[in-house]
Structure 1
Amino acid sequence: MKKGKFIVVEGLEGAGKSTSLETIIKTLNMLGISDPVLTREPGGTPLAEKLRYLIKHETEEPVTDKAELLMLYAARIQLVENVIKPALTEGKWVIGDRHDMSSQAYQGGGRQIDSNLINTLRTITLGDFEPDFTLYLDIDPALGLARAKGRGKLDRIEQQKLDFFYRTRQRYLELVKDNPKAVIIDATQEFDQVQIAVEQAIENFVKQVK
């Protein structure tokens, strides 16, 4: 059986990841790839969802930056080993709402945690595992947060200061700039234009790997 492919959508708050994920699934179905597995990070397994809650919500004990990073990688490896890899082995395509690039951008860029520490954790937990294709939805942090606020109450991460998100965006752009497996989508465009760009990117990727 031919191994499946792992596609990831990345981006700041308000970039339109949820809608783009729906577009990706519709596009894959149109191209004859049915029943893709949809995952999210942090989360995606019972244990990883519990870690997601601790990461996303304020508790009686402040979460340190390094503890946040460790929980993210704990949740990620649970998802990769228990859901993503088995699905890929079965020939299924997996669509991820965030993956490792998020930690490099948010914790490495936003939190300014030493990249050597992040790379070490990545090597220990993931080895050479990585997405086959990444769509990065690029948006100005001020615009993205304004959109996010319109959805309701912001979580612990979303409540960070604007500078945090500008550092995160800068790191994202550095990560995708020379990455042959990544495409940047301008998420400030009109809604329909963004989805057209997402659809075209997926169509091009599928043509390359089929």
Structure 2
Amino acid sequence: MTQPPRIIETEPRGGIFAGDDPFALAAAWLAEAERTEPNDPNAMALATADPDGMPDVRMVLLKEIEPAAEGGAFLFYTNYGSAKGRQLAANPRAAFVIHWKTLRRQIRARGLVEREEGPKADAYFASRSLASRVGAWASRQSEPLSSRAHLMAEAAKAGARFMGAPPRPPFWGGFRIRPLQIEFWADGAHRLHDRFRWTRQDPLSQEWTVTRLNP
């Protein structure tokens, strides 16, 4: 049985920062943003690095915040042959930031990455629209493309091949970020923002140190 989170902190937190589970707190902030953000409240900027250490960043969609009872993680999906997929295969570490302008809040995190290629990935792929599933087969993500017409032709071929029921491609699936650090940030008057950083030593540990940071 998973032990409840153990929190070490020097200053009590209240209001929007209250709670002893950073994943529940992140889920609560996301749920609030879903009521206020006009587009893609689950959009996050994902940072990776290539084998030479050159950083890279792009927007992806956060699809699930796994609870602390499952170890706690942030899950997104992509083509494993994409630039980010190749970079994460070579260097399975990542960072991300989610910023909500309507709430004037953000969440930053960084940690270790593992693939999700099991039933959960199958179920999510099956939940996507038919056009999106066909598109996953058609696109050689991040590779040069001669024209949009060529891409559409590949999509048409994939649609005909699978007759309306494309399975999850073997080159497509999830990445799970198990954070070692999570920071919750809220805008403050005169740029005196509130920042609380949660830190743990192990990606499956439920012992967190929470520190208030200077803005």
Give the TM-score category using the shorter length: under 0.3
| TM-score computed with the length of structure 1 as normaliser | 0.27
1 or 2, which has the higher strand percentage? 2
State the structure with bigger RCO (CA 8 A, min sep 6), 1 or 2: 1
Structure whose CA Rg is larger: 2
Q: Which one has a larger percent helix, Structure 1 or Structure 2?
A: 1
TM-score w.r.t. the length of structure 2 is 0.27
